[in-house]
Chain A
Amino acid sequence: SQQGEEDPQALSIQEGENATMNCSYKTSINNLQWYRQNSGRGLVHLILIRSNEREKHSGRLRVTLDTSKKSSSLLITASRAADTASYFCATDLNSGTYKYIFGTGTRLKVLA
């Protein structure tokens, strides 16, 4: 079964609006990462947040982590058409093997 589950499965917004995606996971983690995948392409690493961090920023991206609720959110501010992609969270299994389990993804569509 999937370690991470993103919510919503699909999101459609207007350019300039903010987009929020959520990720829930099941077991304890060392860190959580967010990736972006453009259609038919490989995944691109966006941001990593460690289990002892609560919030992290990178450009227009803001990630929060709530280990008590086993959840994370990715906020993209002032979205652009180029942000249209699928977004995945990935969690390690705190097993020291550097294996990451990916969620099912959120498909974001930003309308110009």
Chain B
Amino acid sequence: SQTIHQWPATLVQPVGSPLSLECTVEGTSNPNLYWYRQAAGRGLQLLFYSVGIGQISSEVPQNLSASRPQDRQFILSSKKLLLSDSGFYLCAWSEQGAYGYTFGSGTRLTVV
């Protein structure tokens, strides 16, 4: 069966520090991968999506970047965090050509 792993669950980082959040999917190949951010009490904002290794589409200009070094690995990064980067980050995957996401458990990022 397919599973998605996202870590860490919580993270407190100082302003100006780097960020690396990792997401991996097991039990499938060539998935579509997504990064969403959710501000407190709000809906989800699509940040990046990827349909294949090295293929990244950015939805919102921002202080973040994404990479897909392996088929089932999706990484969200920042060189220097801003206070406004705080939020709940969710990774998700879907099968190519299929509908519906499976979400990871999320990372609560607090930039202080």
Binding site for B on A (CB under 8 A): 2, 4, 30-31, 33, 35, 40-45, 48, 88, 90, 92, 97-105
Tell me if A43 and B43 are in contact (CB < 8 A): no
Tell me if A102 and B106 are in contact (CB < 8 A): no
Q: Say how far A20's CB is from chain B's closest CB, in angstroms.
A: 19
Q: Say how far B32's CB is from chain A's closest CB, in angstroms.
A: 5
Tell me if B102 and A45 are in contact (CB < 8 A): yes
Binding site for A on B (CB under 8 A): 6, 32, 34, 36, 42-44, 46, 49, 51, 57, 59, 88, 90, 92, 94, 96-106, 108
Tell me if B108 and A40 are in contact (CB < 8 A): yes
Tell me if A102 and B43 are in contact (CB < 8 A): yes
Q: Say how far A70's CB is from chain B's closest CB, in angstroms.
A: 17
Contacts of A43 in B (CB 8 A): 44, 90, 92, 101, 103
Alpha-carbon distance A98/B92, docked complex (angstroms): 12
Tell me if B106 and A40 are in contact (CB < 8 A): yes
Q: Say how far B58's CB is from chain A's closest CB, in angstroms.
A: 12
The residue of chain A having its C-beta at the shortest distance from the C-beta of B4 within the complex is: A42
Which 4 A/B pairs are nearest by Cβ-Cβ distance? Answer: A42-B103, A102-B44, A104-B43, A43-B103
